[in-house]
Structure 1
Amino acid sequence: MNAENIKNEAYQLIDKYFMPAKAIIVKDFLNTYGFWDAPASTKYHGNYPGGLAEHSLAVAKNLLMLTEKLGLKWDNPGSPFVVGLLHDVCKMDQYKLISTENGYQYVYTNDSIYSHHGEKSICMLANCVTLTQEEIACIRWHMGAYETDTNEWKYYGNAIAKYPNVLWTHTADMMASHIEGV
């Protein structure tokens, strides 16, 4: 899917799942901070310009599909889209493009004040959307075991026990990155 199609589809879904005034704010936030051009990683899934938007839209669509097929219940019916699209907004400024002998390459900038990228996404989103507690838990723990050291397994388990959709968010993320490759 090309970048313009991804942006158009995301805009349509933003208009569907956010009130009109909030949709304008979310679109402006994503446009201002480079969501549509950022990569999703430096060397794994979506490691190209626009990879973040493509990955995020895929996660949102997977989470919407899982919600429908499995009859998942959410505090806010729009949460699968909100969580899926916005779970990785922290990556808008996480990678820098550098020139190399072979063209270009993204490198990770290790200057964050947050220990987990889900936390950074939540903090960045505080400026434009009000998240439910369930959405916060899903975004914070969307990496599951991939970003959890053994001292935090208890908290991850607590999050799943309180909000089972934490596990489904991680599943949707893994479907997009490991099965679909975006």
Structure 2
Amino acid sequence: MNPKNEFTELYQTHIHRPGADKLLEYLTSKNSDFFTAPASTMFHGDYDCGLVTHSVDVYHCLCDYLSRSRCISHYNMKYSDETIAIAALLHDLCKINCYKKYMRNQKNDMGEWEQVSAFKFEDPEPYGHGEKSVFLIGKFLRLTNEEAYAIRYHMGFSGGEDPRNVGKAFDKYPLAFALHVADMEAAHYVDDKVELEIETE
């Protein structure tokens, strides 16, 4: 199943609160490039459809993380399917309409210069990162406090935030930490299909 179809299926299966249909309608409209945009300019998901691919990858990573017995029994991380889907699938809406294609010079394997397609970041609505995603989602559907904090602080300590606020958010809303872990796992190990070699005895 391609990422767009998987995203849509997960979204329609799990997200049902008022406004959900309107938000999906916006994501699929000509006013949004969510399903074709990259997730970054040169890091994870720096290719066409990288953003939706990353969003689906984060969903699966978050589900796996929250299924750990320790998360359930020790940390009481018990969330509805809807909350998990909202946090994971929508955490990076801030990247919609921010990446533009252009041509740049790059040396190939032979050491010769050639023009290659690349992306540059130009945010038409500079409202931050996690907070911008919360803002955009809020135009369509109401988030719970935990969902909003999780999306707001999904970059964790690497997002240029006041570390005291990040720590407080993680302490108060464990979903924020879980989403951060899932986001990092997807970005570093899954989005570009990096195969991890597991040593066996």
Q: Shared topology, TM-score over 0.5?
A: yes
Deviations 1:20-45 (A, max 9, x none): 86443232121121110010000000
- Per the TM alignment, residue 110 of structure 1 is displaced from its structure 2 partner at its CA by 5.0
Alpha-carbon distance in 1 for matches of 2:133, 2:13: 22
Does structure 1 retain, via aligned residues, the 8 Å contact 2:17–2:141?
A: no
How much is the aligned-residue C-alpha RMSD, in angstroms? 1.9
Alignment map for 1:32-43 (pairs within 5 Å): 32=29, 33-43=32-42
8 Å CA contact 1:96–1:108 kept in 2: the answer is: yes
1:78 counterpart SS class: helix
The CA deviation string for residues 118-156 of structure 1, in whole angstroms up to 9 with x for no partner, is 11111111122211110110011000111134xx11111
Whole-angstrom CA distance in 2 between matches of 1:111 and 1:18 = 28
User: Following TM superposition, by how much is the alpha carbon of 1:108 offset from its aligned partner in structure 2, in angstroms?
Assistant: 1.2
Q: Give, in whole Å, the separation in 2 of the partners of 1:27 and 1:181.
A: 22
State the TM-score, normalizing by the size of structure 2.
Answer: 0.80
Residues 38, 50 of structure 2: 8 Å contact kept: yes
The 8 Å contact of residues 16 and 82 in structure 2, kept in 1 or not, is answered as no
- Matching of residue 107 in structure 1 with residue 107 in structure 2: no
Moved more, 167-176 or 94-103: 94-103
Q: Give the distance between the partners of 1:34 and 1:40, measured in 2 at CA.
A: 11
Larger Rg: 2
Which residue is 1:167 aligned to?
A: 177
Consecutive unaligned residues in structure 2, runs of 5 or more:
106-114, 193-201
- Relative to the length of structure 1, the TM-score reads 0.87
**Counterpart secondary structure, 1:99:** strand
**Structure 1 gaps, min length 5:** none
Contact 1:98/1:105 (<8 A) preserved: yes
Aligned position for 1:73 = 78
- Pairing 1:132–2:152 present: no
Between the two proteins, what is the percent identity of the paired residues? 33
Confirm or deny: 8 A CA contact 2:149 2:169 kept in the other structure: yes
Number of matched pairs: 175
- Which has the larger share of helix? 1
